[in-house]
Structure 1
Amino acid sequence: MAAVILAAVIGLAFWSNSLQKAQGATGDNTLNLANWGDYIDPALVKKFEKESGYHVNLETFDSNEAMYTKIQQGGTSYDLTVPSEYMVEKMARAKMLIPLDKSKLHGLNNYGSLYMNRSFDPGNKYSLPYFWGTLGIIYNDKFVSAEEVQHWNDLWSPKFKDNIMLIDSARDIMGFSLRSMGKSMNTTDPNTLALAKAKLDQMSPNVKAVVADEIKMYMAADESALAVDWSGEAADMMANNSHLRYVVPSEGSNLWFDNLVIPKTAKHFKAIYAFLNFITKPKNAAQNAEYVGYSTPNTAALKLLPKSVRNDKQFYPDADVIKKSEVYKDLSPKTVGLYNDLYLEFKMYRR
């Protein structure tokens, strides 16, 4: 009987250990990374594993909110994750992040000063920049000249009637209307927000559709002359249509950042700092940028990219444009609700 019990205990322990390994939760030689889908070069992951001896368990998420909820509810064992700027601020406020130990980090001077010490994480207490980008205007040069779309207000021109597509995002669409009025994209004043919505209503005859991911397909197929979308999405469109161009209006726009942070669930700290130092190396960061196609904040890596990439003002705009642009703040639930309500009214009652 004792032998049977012992065998059962051993079997249960083996099963539990196997389950934990399958979930990526155990082992000192492990790094549990939660990232957006297809947001790191697989060859780099293999290179890191070979050089460091750590095994990477990679899990993907499709929204900041989904990642936040999963960590908040427990049951995860993430060592590193990649939230956007406003989510870094929210997670830090909720005490869901572990401060970076700067004494264990090498090559911090590889990151450009424009991308460090941002408002969502002063002094980079919790985060390192991973990729960055902007909100802007995609135009088809078969139908529109560059001179016609240098400002947000150009989108209200009658010449673009029924010819603009908008990404389905309350914060961004309300945001560029605010920016066109000379107001902050983080405005919380209800009266100013109402004016921004009223201005959007005036633009509605120009709006052909408000869409999500399919905007890339439509623009690649010459279905519309203009679109408002993020720089990363613009890069995908441009890869499928040589007539598409991207511009950040000269008065500035939204400047977004995705960032590496250590969540409170972290356990494998040697692996964490080994990876952070690995991805900070210019050669590795450059390889990652070439694979992902987004803008790198690693200015040492940027120098290793082809001249055609690093001099491309569409994705690496001048410093003055970046300085004029704003990072989204983590607004109160009440204000977020107001943005959403006004935006929904605009969508529902477009003329």
Structure 2
Amino acid sequence: MHRMSLPLSATLFLAPPLAISDEVRLLTWEAYLSKEVIAAFAQHTGHSIHQVFISSDTERNAMLATDGGLLFDLVMTDSNATRAYAQDGLIQPLGNKVPNAGHIDQRWQQACGDYGLAYSWGTLGIAYRSSLVPGINSWKQLFSPPPPLRGRVVMMADIHDFTAVALIAAGFNPNSAERSELQAAYALMQAQQQYVLEYDYGLSYAISRQQSSQMAMTMAYSADVEEIIESTGQQDWVYRVPDEGTMLWVDCWTAPASHPIKPATLAFLNFINQPEIAALNAETTWMPTPISSAKALTSREHREDKELYPTETITSRSDVYQNLPKAAIDLRAKMVATIKE
């Protein structure tokens, strides 16, 4: 992964820490927040960050359904889950509580609404080892991979992403609620089982296995490949958005409704939405930022990375997540649970 340090305002580090320090507890994805930003936040405010990592949206949902809302100050959710959590009363509005949130581009902030703050965005695609196969260009190849990749597929068992790409591979809309179309997607998921090494988030698998990783293909988010390369030492990983199109995602910081938002939590959100800090975070994690003024501060290599900032050609044939009827969500959850058994 690229680790380029950006110049930060000298006054940022000269400001004295707050008199009372606190810990901000995050439920989020692994390798999703820059270590440099965490250190800068601690130095600037005196507050610390404690992170707990999730490997799927399903895991996060289960944690919040029990006592997760009490354990964490902020939870990373996609825009679809943000709307659902808000409707169920699980999260509270962030609204105008974070002054620097005004820097976020409205296109991305609108996806998170009043109950979340846009943090990152991107595409869903396939990551694979290019030294083993000449090229991957279809979602169908994820479910029926070329021989060199069979038995080496790591598949994220998420009820939204897993079923969405199976629906695309089957020739249907990824937001479909039609039972017959979901059954066709399920048939592909069943056929894929024989080729799956493990059901896990590919990046989490790579980080845990390091150089012993046997993974050769995985469903991935557009910012994952750099970290997979760094974790495994395998330089031949590439990311591809299949020709059929994909899903566009927006991730949002949300605050559980089970307890008041702490001053340290608001300080963290305000800190990371400073354009200069957002740029440092985007550059050192090698992921896209929803703040245009921050993107302008990153390196040319970062700004022009088409994996991070896809072309209009890709976005025009991509879908965004939509709210689904409860019956369709329940069926998707049952499909994924059965596949994992």
- TM-score of the two chains, using structure 2 as the length reference: 0.74
Contact 2:223 2:307 in 1 (8 A): no
Q: Give distance in 2, aligned partners of 1:82 and 1:343.
A: 22
Match of 2:109 among 85, 100, 116: 116
Match of 2:65 among 69, 72, 87: 69
1:69-88 correspondence to structure 2 within 5 Å: 69=65, 75-76=70-71, 78-88=72-82
Structure 2, gaps ≥5 residues long: 1-18
Structure 1, gaps ≥5 residues long: 1-26
* Greater C-alpha radius of gyration: 1
Is residue 269 of structure 2 the alignment partner of residue 257 of structure 1?
Answer: no
Aligned residue in 2 for 1:209? 197
Q: Give distance in 2, aligned partners of 1:291 and 1:107.
A: 21
Aligned residue in 1 for 2:282? 289
Q: Give distance in 1, aligned partners of 2:215 and 2:90.
A: 43
- TM-score of the two chains, using structure 1 as the length reference: 0.72
Residue 185 of structure 1: SS of its match in structure 2? coil
Alignment length (residue pairs): 311
Q: CA deviation at 1:287?
A: 1.6
Residue 106 of structure 1: SS of its match in structure 2? helix
Match of 2:317 among 324, 335, 342: 324
Moved more, 230-239 or 309-318: 230-239
Aligned residue in 2 for 1:3? none
Q: Give distance in 2, aligned partners of 1:293 and 1:158.
A: 28
Match of 1:141 among 100, 122, 130: 130
Aligned residue in 2 for 1:193? 182
Q: CA deviation at 1:161?
A: 7.2
1:1-351 correspondence to structure 2 within 5 Å: 30=22, 32-36=24-28, 37-51=30-44, 53=45, 55-56=47-48, 58-62=50-54, 63-69=59-65, 75-76=70-71, 78-102=72-96, 105-106=99-100, 108=102, 110-118=103-111, 121=112, 124-145=113-134, 148-155=135-142, 159-160=146-147, 163=150, 165-171=153-159, 172-200=161-189, 207=195, 209-212=197-200, 216=206, 223=214, 226-239=217-230, 240-268=233-261, 270-329=263-322, 331=324, 334-343=327-336
> Deviation digits for residues 143-190 of structure 1, max 9, x if unmatched?
323xx4233245577854763614141533332121134422222111
In structure 2, do the counterparts of structure 1 residues 104 and 329 end up closer, same or farther at CA, with 3 Å as the change threshold?
same
**Which amino acid in the other structure matches residue 235 of structure 1?**
E
Contact 1:97 1:126 in 2 (8 A): yes
> Deviation digits for residues 175-214 of structure 1, max 9, x if unmatched?
2121134422222111111122234556667x35343257
In structure 2, do the counterparts of structure 1 residues 279 and 266 end up closer, same or farther at CA, with 3 Å as the change threshold?
farther
**Identity %, equivalent residues:** 23
Residue 336 of structure 1: SS of its match in structure 2? helix
In structure 2, do the counterparts of structure 1 residues 35 and 339 end up closer, same or farther at CA, with 3 Å as the change threshold?
closer
> Deviation digits for residues 68-94 of structure 1, max 9, x if unmatched?
23557x655x54332333331222012
